[in-house]
Chains A and B, each alone.
Chain A
């Protein structure tokens, strides 16, 4: 079983739709969680950090559920420019262990 698991998708959604991604992690020692965005063949870039209290940035909301060991990303009012692969990341021991999920591909359709 992978330490961080994501549904690979692709998720094909129309513009304006709301889409949610989930990510589960198996290492209970994981302390910090992030969502990164990766455009095709480009480097990953931090989208947002994930806190137990939730984190909202414009159309994006991230949540952490430590009891169930999953994190989520909600994108409201999807834009064409949101089309990308979204990577879930878990850290343990600070940056001593950085584990990426395989990513969920989102395609927003006109």
Chain B
């Protein structure tokens, strides 16, 4: 089965609303990263958060390792936040990461 599951698959928000994206994984993870993929396809790392809570700008990630889940909260969404958000888990103790299928976010004016 899918080792990294993300929800929802897609989300439409009005500009200014907050978004909550979820990532659940099937095994213990030593590394967890959130990535953003632009509508044009480019991929960038947003933040790394294997446990606890981390903030960067309008993004907050909370990872509960024991419960094998992580969330990404986007506050005061902007149209430029539109794109796909990917969660990646290191399931092999540092060898490589597996990606979820992503949450496609659309922020409308």
A binds B: no
